[in-house]
Amino acid sequence: MTLKFVRSLICRTGHLPAACLVLLAASAASNTFASPMTCESSSGSFTREWSFDSAEACGTGKGNPNSSADIEGLGGVFDLPGSGVWTKRGDVTDNGDDSDWLNVSLTSGNWGDKDIEATWTLAAGFWDTFGLGVFTVHVGHGPTDNLSDFGAFMITPGEYNGTWQFSQTGAQGGGGGLSNAGIWTTGVPIDPREQPIPNPGVPALMALGLLLMARQLRRRRRMPG
């Protein structure tokens, strides 16, 4: 998990300004980049695998994701405080593109296939508008109810384009082909005018930021209701 992503999780709400400032400095000093990430769902001899090249986390779920609850239900970093925090910004399908923020181009395979390679591109200004983004890929109902129907990836903040893949093995005929890709957002961007302070090193700043965050949370718990 990159510092840039941790910074976005904490700073997007504005509730922990001291920790946010330290993490801004740490992320500016860090040269860590996201790596390709893969999530899979298996049942018997059947396996579905989703891969994305610039992700901080991934998960798989059932059905076609159409509500914030579908993303929150993946758990982990997808399950942010509150409810209804994720907003869907459109889909890309074989019938066209109804998203102003996402473009998908297939480089191998076709819509409805079970072996896909493709590129993804976010519209200019995406990270100037939103704090966090999730990319989802939904496929048709497969040969067994125990397989997940979509893969989701928390996009590394600041990344605008890359590649993704989907494959399904073990199924002869039946459903499971590529159906749609979607983009989800939440939060607000970090103010680019905030200037990071000089720092002695990334590890020390990370530790200081986490300590400040814990201290502020403890103070809130002690405050009378």
pLDDT in tens, 47-72: 899 999 999 999 999 999 999 999 99
Q: Which pLDDT belongs to residue 16?
A: 47
Whether the pLDDT of residue 190 is over 70: the answer is: no
How is the chain split into domains, by residue range? 1-33+195-225, 35-189
For residue 23, list its beta bridge partners: none
- Parallel, antiparallel, or unpaired: how do β-strands 87-93 and 178-186 relate? antiparallel
| Contacting residues for 195 by C-beta, under 8 A, at least 6 apart | none
Whether the pLDDT of residue 220 is over 90: the answer is: no
Query: CA distances (Å), 207 to each of 6, 50, 137, 200, 204, in order?
Result: 13, 33, 36, 12, 5
Q: Which of 15-19, 148-152, 197-201 shows the lowest mean pLDDT across its residues? A: 15-19
Most confident of 8-12, 99-103, 168-172: 99-103
Q: Which pLDDT belongs to residue 92?
A: 96
